[in-house]
Amino acid sequence: MGAFVLRAVISGVLVAIIAIVARRSPGLGGLVASIPLVSTLGMIWLWNDSGDRELVANYVSAAFWYFLPTLPMFLLIPWMLRAGIGFWPSLGAGCGLTMILYLGTVAILPRLGINVSL
């Protein structure tokens, strides 16, 4: 339980730092947020827990394939905000688009011979 709490605290602190940096400099905040911190921490935690190379390799591969459907969200939300649409509807539309693209990814990848089993 102590390891879980430590991991949660470290992850939460990173998110809080990103928010503070973004308030001062949106570009720098975006840069820091684009660094795959959560994925990297996940790799570290998984390696420390298992020491299993294949498990970590599968995790990293799946993270890559599931990262791709998130990219359009980062185009849709700013477009909607600049078009005068409110933050919450823009965020909701971005998250909805991502979920639809996730479903498409889960359906398409096995047909391409890529295993990212849930």
Q: What is the pLDDT of residues 70-82, one digit of tens each?
A: 999 999 999 999 9
Query: What's this model's pTM, rounded to 2 decimal places?
Result: 0.76
Burial level of 109, CB count in 10 A (0-12/13-18/19+)?
middle
The average pLDDT across 20-36 equals 86
The set of residues, in sequence order, having a beta carbon less than 8 Å from that of 101 and lying 6+ positions away, is 69, 70, 72
Predicted local distance difference test score (pLDDT) of residue 18: 87
Tokens of 45: 């935690």
Neighbouring residues of 114: CB distance < 8 A, sequence distance ≥ 6: 65
Which pLDDT tens digit goes with each residue over 51-103? 999 999 999 999 999 999 999 999 999 999 999 999 999 999 999 999 999 99
Handedness of CA 99, 34, 24, 72 (dihedral sign): negative
pLDDT range class, residue 118, cuts 50, 70, 90: low
